[in-house]
Amino acid sequence: ILLEDARFDVNHQDHRGRTPIHLAAAQGHEEMIILLLEDQRVDFNILDHQRKSPLQLAALAGHEEIVRIFLEQDGVD
């Protein structure tokens, strides 16, 4: 898995400023969110170009379980 490769930039932003955790949150991929949150390199408060965090994208998409997972993390903004 890419997360095991130290060279992989877990916070790489695409043309919309979205990172892997943004995409997983917006699309409701719970298992991927859990994996990403286990990696201390992941910035789960990073904003995309529309100034939306992964938490906000999950909430806007109605992914309640992902919102709960985010809110259980220390330091979520």
Average pLDDT, the chain: 91
User: What one-letter code names the amino acid at 24?
Assistant: A
pLDDT of residue 2: 57
Whole-number pLDDT of residue 33: 95
pTM (2 decimals)? 0.87
pLDDT in tens, 22-54: 999 999 999 999 989 888 889 999 999 999 999
Kindly write down the DSSP assignment for every residue of 37-70, as one continuous string.
Answer: HHSTT--TT---TTS--HHHHHHHTT-HHHHHHH
Q: List the domain boundaries for the chain.
A: 14-71
Q: Output the six-digit token pair for 27.
A: 């699309």
Asked whether the predicted pLDDT for residue 12 surpasses 60, the reply is yes
For domain 14-71, the question of CATH label 1.25.40.20 is answered with: yes
Structure confidence at residue 4 (pLDDT):
67
Whether 31 contacts 37, CB under 8 Å: no
